[in-house]
Amino acid sequence: MALFLACLSALAVVNAIPAIFPSDEVTPAITDALVTFVNEKKSTWKAAVPSKFSNATIAQVKRMLGTVMIGEPNYVPVETVKTEFKTSAEAIPESFDARVAFSQCANIIGHVRDQSSCGSCWAFGSTEAFNDRYCIASGDATTLMSPEDTNACCSGLTCSFSMGCNGGQPSGAWNWFVKTGVSTGADYGNIGEGKTCKPYSLKSCAHHVTPPDGMVACDTLPSYSTPKCTSTCSESAYTKAYSNDKHKADSSYTVKTVANIQKELIESGPVTVAMTVYEDFEAYSSGVYQHVTGKSLGGHAIKLIGWGVDNGTPYWTLVNSWNESWGEKGTFRILRGSNECGIEADVVAGKVSA
């Protein structure tokens, strides 16, 4: 049995990060031709090539993805499907923003984080949604939970064989929140403040955009290995022991159908979702994204916080983990109602108490 589980774990690593071919190491992630093609199509979004883009390659982009999608080998579905809601279909508004609906937690829900040069999106999209729900339940609008703890310590069968910077599954992370819990942990820039247990240890960087002052491009950093899982806090000045710093979820579940996803957001807050990333997504600048051109690069996990309509186009609003220099100040919108890029097929959340 041990050998069988080890083989499954190894297969999960292989399938979480998309295969990288020799040509990927030299092929630019964003080209003028791709941007021109998208913009000439006059779709619902704008593509752009950053003026100082540092020639990131397809291979570098693939390494920063890392979510196993439905239908791929080793995908582990969530067993429980939530089907009962208090909100009626007629009561669903045309637009919704969790930052407004749960205004006491606006700074937590709207906080844009940075996974750096690591395939830890699965840990960020999950930990952030958990964080939002903890804030909504407890009223604690200052505590940040630790994607570092999730990325480093959520592994094995409990975590659907997630493997840190080599990719993982939000379903596994939410199961881990229930069984083990996650510690507090702020961002890379907060290291040394001693205010949280495990701030993120990997350097922030600009993802597919011109680096703002004081920030380097992600393609200039190494592809980070998964940080070591420790049973102690990395901040020596933090006074609470790691074992006493854990916060747990009461349950985890998935939600199906557009209407039920909307009801879930209204009643309980943001959820974790996954999408297939195509080449043109790397050139996203603003607007309501829908796939126009380019091949699949891999799966990506993010946090869904709301929806709306833009000039007749229905959309979802999501928070990415590529810091505020990317997209619409770190967020993006994607077509709603047609399972664009698989965005509505793999929704994970859970009940979180104070």
Of how many residues is the chain composed? 354
Q: How far apart are CA 323 and CA 121, in angstroms?
A: 12
126 within 8 A of 134, measured Cβ to Cβ = no
| Other Cβ atoms closer than 10 A to 66 | 29
Kindly state the tokens that stand for 235.
């901040």
Q: Which of 142, 119, 137 is nearest to 62 (CA)?
A: 119
Residues involved in catalysis: 121, 300, 320
Q: How far apart are CA 200 and CA 303, in angstroms?
A: 18
Q: How far apart are CA 126 and CA 254, in angstroms?
A: 13
Q: How far apart are CA 264 and CA 341, in angstroms?
A: 21
- Amino acid (1-letter code) at residue 192: G
Which residues, in sequence order, are CB contacts of 85 under 8 Å at separation 6+? 260, 263, 264, 267
144 within 8 A of 186, measured Cβ to Cβ = yes
Phi-psi region of 113 (alpha: psi -120 to 50; beta: other; left: phi over 0): beta
- Amino acid (1-letter code) at residue 253: Y
